[in-house]
């Protein structure tokens, strides 16, 4: 029997897969997934068709009981993502690259349906 943590991880992976498919359909090139730096992680790093480097936070919820997924991107989380992105830019010598932060909110209210909201330049 799966425990709560396993179910949460599966839900998160499913949401991230949906987000990556969405980005690819829009012409983004995926550069990394689950990029870990500075004791944190950026879910997806992609390059848009215009060359912009996009750091994507994916939040997934099974239903409306916990509120909209995007509300889970708190100010503390945004600050952490900024620090991780800065470290990534320095490590790859991309300090001057145009970049932005997107949030992809994924709701999976039942097994067959995924509702996705892409918030470009979210913060």
The mean pLDDT of 111-115, rounded to a whole number, is: 82
- Residues of the chain above pLDDT 70, percent: 96
Q: Which ranges of the chain does DSSP label H, i.e. alpha helix?
A: 4-25, 75-91
Among 5, 10, 2, 9, which Cα is nearest to 111's?
Answer: 10
Count of C-beta atoms within a 10 Å radius of residue 80: 17
The average pLDDT across 2-11 equals: 82
pTM here is 0.91
| Per-residue pLDDT tens digits for 23-56 | 999 999 999 999 999 889 999 999 999 999 999 9
Average per-residue pLDDT for the chain: 92
Q: What is the pLDDT of residue 79?
A: 96
Class of the CATH-defined domain 4-119: alpha beta
Domain ranges in the chain are: 4-119
């Amino acid at each position: 029997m799966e425990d709560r943590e396993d179910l949460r991880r599966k839900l998160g992976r499913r949401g991230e897969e949906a987000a990556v498919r969405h980005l690819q359909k829009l012409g983004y090139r995926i550069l990394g997934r689950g990029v870990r730096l500075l004791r944190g992680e950026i879910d997806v790093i992609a390059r848009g068709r215009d060359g912009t480097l996009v750091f994507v936070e994916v939040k997934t919820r099974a239903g409306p009981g916990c509120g909209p997924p995007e509300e889970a991107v708190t100010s503390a989380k945004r600050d952490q993502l900024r620090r991780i992105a800065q470290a990534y830019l320095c490590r790859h010598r991309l300090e001057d690259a145009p970049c932005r932060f997107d949030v992809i909110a994924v709701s999976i209210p039942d097994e067959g349906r995924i509702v996705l909201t892409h918030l470009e330049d979210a913060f």
